[in-house]
Amino acid sequence: MGGSEAGAAAAMTARTLRLGLGPETRSVPPIQSVTYHAQMQQRNGARELGLIIATLTVVSRFVTDAPLWVATGLAAIAAAAGTASLLGEVRPWRWPLDRVSLPAMAAFVSVGVARLGDPVPWLAVAFAGSWAVTSWVVSIETATGTVGGKPGSVAPDGTHARPTAARLGAFGLAFLGFAAIGGIVPGGVAGDGRPLSVAAFVATIVLDVAIGGLAGYRIAAVRPHTPRQAAVAFYQYSMVVAPVGVLVRVLALPRLFGPAVLVLATYLVTSLRESDEPVRFNLRLLEETAVLILAGVAVVVLGLVVK
């Protein structure tokens, strides 16, 4: 009897473990499964948000003046709100500004770039590009970090989960954003042949400052930072981009020469800010900065020659 009871108990234990009811099974949480499904959910959410922004891009192509500014603002707010929602924050005053800045810039870029060409067939390309770029940027900002698998979490030292992709997205969107201004402000693209009124000139410089400042803020916020440090970064980038933007418009460099010079200025500020030692002692940084300045001068000269 003792042997049969022991055998029955062993069979019951094995059956319980197979059904997932035993303490051994309950004590091991399915972390990998939960993380995988969370990543897939965030990826699908990024694609859906990209589709919404792409649709707003197409609709905004057929409005002008004040309705265009309203549509652009709505697209940027929708991108920021959607990203914050995917991160688990639905209250606007608690949105993580560093995480929603690039999606908002992607929405602005989508609306502006879509207006730089004829509606057909360029609008179909703009729709697909807007969907792809917005989805990619949102997926970067909602990337799962290493703290409990929470969407949008960061590493233990406070760094971004995908810092290289975030920096690349900031520089890419800065270039496209400087070019997209021409689709929002008449004559905003230097050298396009259209006159630039005083109000349009002021609006262009303000947008230059906003784009450069947000891109620089996002690059600086990839590392651990305080709100004061983020505000200082925005100020520093803005104060460099503003005079360069004025110079680009005064010289009326053709088409993409202006955005190239503005992005170059943004990169120079990044190089100087992220130096691990005092700039005057960093010989390599000084050499790279000199080369970049020469490259910028060459771009300006080439633009003037082409003009």
Specify the pLDDT at position 214.
92
Q: Look at residue 280 in the predicted model and tell me its pLDDT.
A: 59
Look at residue 31 in the predicted model and tell me its pLDDT: 45
Are residue 306 and residue 224 in the same domain, yes or no? yes
62: tokens are: 């057929």
Q: What is the pLDDT of residues 289-306, one digit of tens each?
A: 676 677 666 766 665 665
Domain ends where: 129, 161, 193? 161
DSSP string over 126-191 = HHHHHHHHHHHHHHHHT-B-SSTT-BT---TTS--SSHHHHHHHHHHHHHHHHHHHHHHSTT-STT
- Residues 198, 231, single domain; the answer is yes
Q: What pLDDT was estimated at residue 77?
A: 94
- Number of domains the chain contains: 2
Predicted structure pTM score: 0.77
Distant-in-sequence, close-in-space partners of 47: CB < 8 Å, separation ≥ 6: 131, 135
pLDDT of residue 107: 94
Domain hosting residue 172, numbered range:
163-307
Where a domain ends, among 129, 144, 161? 161
Distance CA 212, CA 266 (A): 7
Q: Say yes or no: 68 and 175 in one domain.
A: no
**CA 141 – CA 135 distance, rounded (Å):** 10
Local mean pLDDT, 10-residue blocks, the chain (307 residues) = 56 53 47 50 80 90 87 93 87 86 94 82 87 91 59 51 83 90 77 70 89 90 81 87 84 78 86 67 62 66 61
